[in-house]
Amino acid sequence: MEADLFVAWFEEAARLVRENRDRLTRLDAAIGDADHGTNLDRGLSEVLKALAESAAVESAPEVLITAGATLIRRVGGASGPLYGSLFRQMGKALESPVTLARFAGAFEEGVVAVERLGKASLGDKTMVDALAPASRALALAVRDGAEVGVALDQAARAAGEGAKATIPLQARKGRASYLGERSIGHEDPGAASAALFLAALASVAG
């Protein structure tokens, strides 16, 4: 798992987010500010620009830290700081050479950073509902000795299922929580975009 793979991850994530920008914005229009898709699309464009322009990005941890810092600076709303914290903490925690086990551990630390910043837990109808199941699936895959592609496929599948599982939930965190029971019946946009990030990683690593 070299730096090129992580750059490809963000390239594919940017493509998937752009492809799903309107869907993410529609999801956010139902229970949020109606800007999640456009904000994340713009932020990932800035990430790709930063990665292309930075001569210092030579390792996987540096890719993650650069991406995280860029998202914090460039993306408005809650998603910028949350995704930025995820990737920046992953970069700080990740040791080289990058193995699947080390990546899984760094990913877990990144998810904890998101939970801490957003004060959110599984079941609160946030991106944690996709990220936490993905982290668990990845840890189990490492335990079982799965190959990288298989492990990341399992993580992506868990994230997608977690995102869909937010539909019947009532939001307990973020702007959506202000809607009370009216938040029920809508997929959380943050969980939906988190699932896209995991799908992108599985795609480039497969």
Measured CA to CA, the distance from residue 140 to residue 143 in angstroms comes to 5
Measured CA to CA, the distance from residue 110 to residue 106 in angstroms comes to 6
Name the CATH architecture for the domain at 3-205. Alpha Horseshoe (1.25)
pLDDT of 139 reads 96
What is the chain's alpha carbon radius of gyration, rounded to the nearest angstrom? 16
The runs of H, that is alpha helices, within 32-59 are 36-53
Contacts of 205 (CB under 8 A, 6+ apart): 1, 5, 9, 148, 149, 152
pLDDT of 31 reads 60
How confident is the model over 105-155, as pLDDT tens digits? 999 999 999 999 989 888 888 999 999 999 999 999 999 999 999 999 999
How confident is the model over 76-99, as pLDDT tens digits? 777 889 999 999 999 999 998 899
Measured CA to CA, the distance from residue 24 to residue 94 in angstroms comes to 30
Q: What is the pTM of this model?
A: 0.91
Domain boundaries, the chain: 3-205
Closest by CA to 13, choosing from 39, 36, 47, 38, is: 47
Residue 8 has pLDDT above 50, yes or no: yes
